[in-house]
A and B are shown apart, each in its own frame.
Chain A
Amino acid sequence: GESVGLHLPTLSVQEGDNSIINCAYSNSASDYFIWYKQESGKGPQFIIDIRSNMDKRQGQRVTVLLNKTVKHLSLQIAATQPGDSAVYFCAVRGVGNEKLTFGTGTRLTIIP
Chain B
Amino acid sequence: GAVVSQHPSRVICKSGTSVKIECRSLDFQATTMFWYRQFPKQSLMLMATSNEGSKATYEQGVEKDKFLINHASLTLSTLTVTSAHPEDSSFYICSARNYDRVANYGYTFGSGTRLTVV
Contacts and interface: CB of A to CB of B under 8 A. Distances in A.
A93 B105 contact: yes
B104 A49 contact: yes
Interface string A80-112: 000000000100010000111111110000000
B46 A49 contact: no
Contacts of B108: 46
Nearest to A93: B105
A93 to B, nearest CB: 7
Interface of B: 4, 6, 32, 34, 36, 42-46, 49, 91, 93, 95, 97, 103-105, 107-112, 114
A43 B7 CA distance: 12
B95 to A, nearest CB: 8
Interface of A: 32, 34, 36, 41-46, 49, 89, 93, 98-105
- Judged by DSSP, the binding face of A is strand
B107 A34 contact: yes
The 6 closest A-B pairs by CB, nearest first: A43-B109, A102-B44, A102-B43, A43-B112, A43-B111, A44-B109
18 contacts: A34-B107, A36-B109, A42-B111, A43-B93, A43-B109, A43-B110, A43-B112, A44-B44, A45-B109, A46-B104, A46-B107, A49-B103, A89-B43, A98-B34, A99-B34, A100-B34, A102-B36, A104-B43
